[in-house]
């Protein structure tokens, strides 16, 4: 009775039909997602939890896909069990049964891996700069540099960045990321994927006119100059399409002064400030790398690797079986 039930559930024609329905569901899902792009977030990851928070009628194709996917998995498991049962009593054709066992095991593991990743994996967005931020499962990550390359027609070709990662044990490592070249961790289960990057103005280098001394000013990192304290509040755009820097000059027994400087060498009347009778001129902009990344966590990588191993063994056995059959004069 049990074997008969396994035979019915593992019917190969039913499996073929279920496979076709899965393909139709995937095609329908692609059409629905293309017709309703506003429903899905940008850079939409493989996250099945999204379709249940909340459940929506427009996601009918996914719910039907999961049902069909489950039935197809049951069909594969029944075929796998049937092959094991037949292997115990088979006298001939055992190699072919081994092929079926390994291929079915690979398919079952692949389906399980996708479901496991869909419900227990995750992704997120982050913006990296020289100031380190904590990325779960990776460590404290900061951007050391970013560089873009372009095609002859000016179109963007690639963007690459160098990251510094300080791990939980205190060890620091460097990683290079670029388009289609993510940084991987934990055997590929965690990834940092670049989405874009640029150098942004962050500070200003000033030069004292009297002696040529250089002062590198970063926001809210005051410097002692001529008996007072000069603090850069920030770098901002202006209506004249020229960046401006705002400073606060503080000295004992004097009211704080708000000073503004145009960050352009040609604006000679406005690209300098005066503090304590000393003229500080604009020398150059200080830029920092800013990199937009996606973090990805896929806990199913070990399952996928095991599936790949089984599929490879099954493929090798099938090739050997086919060669032996062709060489058989009977």
* Residue 1 pLDDT: 52
Which ranges of the chain does DSSP label H, i.e. alpha helix?
Answer: 2-9, 12-35, 60-89, 94-120, 301-327
* Residue 37 pLDDT: 85
Comparing C-alpha atoms, which of 20, 289, 7 is closest to residue 147?
Answer: 289
Alpha-carbon distance of 217 to 220, in angstroms, equals 8
The residue ranges of the chain whose pLDDT is under 50 are none
Locate the domains of the chain by residue range. 2-121+301-327, 124-199+290-297, 202-287
Break the chain down into helix, strand, coil percent, rounded to 5. Answer: 40, 35, 25
Alpha-carbon distance of 2 to 255, in angstroms, equals 91
pTM above 0.85, yes or no: no
CA dihedral of residues 81, 84, 86, 89 (deg, nearest 10): -140
């Amino acid at each position: 009775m049990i074997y008969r039930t396994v035979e019915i559930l593992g019917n190969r024609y039913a499996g073929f039909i279920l496979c076709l329905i899965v393909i139709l569901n995937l095609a329908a899902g692609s059409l629905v997602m293309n017709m309703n792009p506003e429903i899905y977030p940008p850079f939409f990851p493989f996250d099945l939890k999204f379709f249940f928070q909340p459940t929506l009628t427009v996601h009918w194709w996914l719910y039907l896909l999961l049902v069909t996917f489950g039935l197809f998995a049951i069909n594969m498991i029944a075929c796998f069990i049937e092959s094991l049962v037949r292997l115990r009593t088979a006298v001939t054709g055992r190699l072919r049964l081994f092929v079926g066992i390994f291929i079915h095991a690979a398919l079952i593991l692949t389906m399980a891996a996708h479901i496991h990743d869909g419900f227990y994996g995750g992704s997120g967005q982050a913006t990296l700069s020289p100031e380190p931020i904590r990325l779960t499962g990776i460590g404290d990550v900061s951007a050391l540099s970013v560089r873009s390359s372009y095609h002859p027609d000016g179109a963007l070709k690639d963007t690459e960045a160098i990251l510094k990662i300080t791990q939980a044990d205190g060890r620091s490592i460097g990683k290079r990321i670029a388009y289609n070249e993510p940084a991987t961790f934990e055997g590929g289960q965690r990834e940092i994927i670049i989405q874009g990057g640029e150098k942004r103005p962050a500070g200003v280098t000033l030069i004292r006119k009297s002696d040529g001394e250089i002062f590198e000013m970063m926001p809210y990192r005051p410097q002692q100059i001529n008996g007072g304290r000069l603090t850069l509040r920030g770098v901002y755009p202006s209506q004249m399409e020229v960046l401006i820097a705002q400073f606060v000059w503080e000295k004992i027994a004097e009211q704080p002064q708000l000073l503004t400087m145009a960050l352009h060498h040609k604006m000679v009347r406005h690209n300098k400030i005066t503090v304590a009778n000393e003229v500080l001129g604009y020398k150059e902009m200080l830029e920092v790398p800013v990199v937009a990344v996606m973090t990805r966590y896929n806990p199913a990588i070990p399952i996928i690797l095991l599936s790949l191993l089984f599929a490879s063994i099954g493929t090798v056995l099938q090739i050997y079986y086919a060669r032996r059959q062709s060489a058989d004069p009977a």
